Every structure is written in structure tokens, then in C-alpha cells.
Amino acid sequence: MKNIVKHYQNPILPGFYPDPSICRVNDDYYLVTSTFAYFPGVPIFHSKDLVHWEQIGNILDRKSQLPLQGSGVSEGIFAPTLRYHNGTFYMITTHVSNSLGNFIVTATDPRGPWSDPYPLGSEGIDPSLFFDDDGTCYYCGTKSRREGSRYSGDNEIYVQKLDLDEMKLVGESYPIWHGALRNVVWPEGPHIYKINGMYYLLISEAGTDYHHAISIARSKELFAPFEGNRANPIFTHRNLGRDVPIVNVGHPDIVQTQTGEWWMVLLASRPYGGYYRNLGRETFLTPMTWEDGWPIVNPGKGILEEQGKAPDLETYFVPEIPGKEDFDTDKLPMHFLTLRGPDSDIFTFNKKKSCLSLPCSSHLLSGTETPAYVARRQQHMDFSVETSLSFQPGSGEMAGLCLFQNETNHLKFGIQKDQLVLTEIKDGTERTCFKVSFDNSEEFVQLKIEARSQSLTCYYKKSTDTDYILAGFPTDTSFLCTDFAGGFVGNTIGLFAETVAEAASDSQENYAHFDYLQYLHA
């Protein structure tokens, strides 16, 4: 008797996991998401039930695959597509801040290793691959209209043959659709499917914000103009207003299960504490079916729900990610991230202290180099994070915990010389929220941040303390959201060590030693 999960909870990947793409290989499902300027790039997940997902690797895990220096946090890697054909996995994506542009990497094992990039030299963003019945591969992408765009976001969806042996686009490219609505902006994220002899083109429109919407068109021929569904957009939350649990619904990919069901993965956001989206764009799941040759998303309801009846698939048991990382190995867990560069460039595992050691880097979190920052995604509205830190700061040096949205909007709680400090960087302006005089004579001191909705509180504890001691007063975190900060990413939270540039040239490199990082949610 099969063990079938009855219900699922959205999002299936909480936190900063945007732009999902999915493919099925027999009874196995694989999914990838965007990472922008974070390293490693493009996490890949495996599931057998579409509900429980296990990260099995990161596709772009080498410098040769992912040069990110100088990229803003919301630049870098956009919207990957994952496809499988004849024993090979293909991941195609866009590096928007590097000459790589649109490129493909391949692997025979989804866990890797993946190849170095094959740059395609094509225009635009959001590339996708489609394999026709005869095995011919086609590239589908988004770019400005070839006849000239009338306004920003006046795009076309185009298709062109791709020679997989040479990894080159060949022949002419053909515009096949411009989106569903009159004066539509940002038709993008295209995926082509062939179903019952018809070619279907699934896209998003209106930008990845509150007006995000999903539309579809079809054609009997791949290189002919596509006909839009009269019911377009087939899925959106923009008509529901902003005071709803889920917003920004869009950027879908679809898959048919081995039992014949159809499901859609897509991105959306969960606002909290107002209309703020600190969690960024997350990956959700919803059912779909077909009527009169067109898809119906979440039949009878037409909205993206927080929970639903699960797919008719045997439950896939996934190991739970530990909330606490003790840094007792010589490798970071797969879900950990750095900015713009490999973790080996910015830290060492101190076996003597059994901890992670970060140098006080002059590459600051406010810059576009690789700072000494090791993080994980914020995945919950209410959470706590703590660490144990051994650090003897010199002049201009600081180390501790950081809640990071982007270069111009983040919070740092840590140890400076003779004091604990919470520093707010808001819209590029730095402000000290509070300072606490601090005798840092002990080897390790524990730091803790608690977040309840948009309010953040800081604590510390020495070995002589029974309980955590409040440091300062609660701080508002609503500026750590895309509504205020702009861009496309959600918050990450982690460990940092840095020094101001003036002090860096006059001192020897100093290290902050972190015994663990623990993330818990309420």
C-alpha cells in the first residue's frame, strides 16, 4: 500500500527561491530557481511527490561558471530553465551583468558536475529550451520588439533552432507572440510545450510585482504567430488587492505526473507587517487541468492557496535541514550562500577551535565585491538566529550577525571595539541604532536576533550569564523589503566580518571565529 501525502503547504520552497523551473524524468522531479548575485548559483532540488524537496546540489558552483564580481545583488543570474533529453540535463539561464549573457550548462547526473557555460550570444533574458518530437531543440527567449519597442517592457517572445552539437543558434529567429493584453508590459519567462499535437506558449506579463499575471497562447506550427487564450490572463492575484496572504503570482512552469495529473510551479510572495515582502519571491505549487484545449489553474477556485490536496504520488521522505550548523566539517551545507564568490575565498574552517573563521574584510557588504559574509535565506516571518563569536576587534573592525536585503539596505548586529552595536544601513545611509558598552574579555560570546513580524530585537550572553540580556530596543525591519529597497531578492541572514577601508591598510588581517549559526522559526 502506497504512503500518500494528503495535503501540501505553500510555499513548497519558502524564502528567496524565485523563478522556478521543473522537469520530470520517469518518477523523479527536478526543480531549479534563480540566485542573482549569490554564490553558488542555481540550486537544484529533487522530489518524487512534488511536495517535499531535497536540495541535491548547486549547478553553478565554480568561478569558471559564475563570474559575479561587480554585480549588484539583483543582477547576476536570472530565471533558469531546466530540461532533460536523451540522458542529458540542460540548464539555460541569463547572466545579466556579465558578457556570458544567455548560456547553457549540461550534466548527465543532476547532482553534477555540470559543464562550464556555453554562451549563445542571443538577445534578451529568460531563455528556455523546447525539444520537439523529432528531437530537434529550439531556443525560446524574450527581447525588445525587433520592429522597435514603443515603451519600456514592450517585448516579443521569439524562437530559434539550437544546434546542440555545436551549442549554437542556427537559422532565423521568429517572433511568435507579444503577450495577451493590449499595451502589455514585460511578456517574459516563456516555456513551450507540445500537448496533443499543439504547441503551447506559457508566459508571465506585467512585471514580477503586484500586477504579475500568467497568460498562454497556442499554435499548430512552431514558427507561426500564436493565438492567445480568450480567458487570458489565466492566473493572477492582481485583482484581489494587496491585503491578501499571497501576492505577485507568476513565472510558471508545468509538469504532467506519471499518473496523468497536471501541476504548476510558480513564484509568489507572502507580505507581512503591512505590504512588505522581506521574504522575496518564493516557490509555490498549484493543480491545473485542461478544458477545450486550454489549461484551468486550480479548478473551481482560481487562486493560489496556502494549502491544498496533494498530488496522487507516493510520499517522498526528505531529511530535515538542521536549524543549527556547527561548522565541524570542511564544507558548508548546500543551502548556505555567499555574495559574488566561492566561500573558499572568504573563510577558513578552524579545526583547532572547531569553528568558521572570517577575516575582517575591506570588501564591505555595501560594495559589489565579495564580502566576508556567510548566510542562509530568511524563510519565515517570525524567527530567531544566534551565533557564538570569538573576536578581538581592532580599530574600525566589526563582526557578528547581519540581516541583508541589498547593498544599501541591511542591518548589522555585532562587536566593535569595547561595545555591542546595531547598525542600520537604510537607502545607503548608515545609522547607529544603539551601542552597549561591552567587555569582550571572554573567548566566546553569544549573539542573538529575534524577529517578530517587522520588529527585530537583539540579545547577548556571556558564559557568566544564565539568560540572554536585551541589547538596545526593538528595531523596525520593514525597509528590508523589495517595496522599499527594490530589486528581486529576499533577505538572507548570516555571519559577517569587515573593516572600514581606512583601517584596513594600516592593520594586519584579523579573524572573527564563529562556533555555530542557528536559525529557528516560531
Three-state DSSP state, 14: coil
Strand order across the 397-406 sheet:
372-377, 492-499, 397-406, 409-416, 419-426, 429-437
Question: For this structure, is 188 an active site residue?
Answer: yes
If you compute the radius of gyration of the chain from its CA atoms, what whole number of angstroms results? Answer: 24
The catalytic residue among 49, 156, 188, 325 is: 188
13: which DSSP letter? B
d(CA 228, CA 59) in angstroms, rounded, equals 34
Decide: residue 329, CB within 10 A, 0-12 exposed, 13-18 middle, 19+ buried: exposed
Q: Which residues pair with 138 in a beta bridge?
A: 130, 161
Three-state DSSP state, 452: strand
Question: For this structure, is 506 an active site residue?
Answer: no
Which residues does 373 contact at the CB level (< 8 Å), separation at least 6?
A: 338, 339, 346, 365, 402, 404, 494, 495, 496
Three-state DSSP state, 501: helix
d(CA 49, CA 52) in angstroms, rounded, equals 6
d(CA 151, CA 149) in angstroms, rounded, equals 6
d(CA 298, CA 246) in angstroms, rounded, equals 15
The catalytic residue among 19, 325, 386, 515 is: 19
Grid cell of 317 as nine digits: 521522505
d(CA 440, CA 515) in angstroms, rounded, equals 16
d(CA 438, CA 310) in angstroms, rounded, equals 52
- Which position has the grid cell 543558434? 169
Three-state DSSP state, 177: strand
Nearest to 6 by CA among 317, 314, 319: 314
Please name the amino acid found at residue 413: F
Decide: residue 135, CB within 10 A, 0-12 exposed, 13-18 middle, 19+ buried: exposed
Active site residues: 19, 188
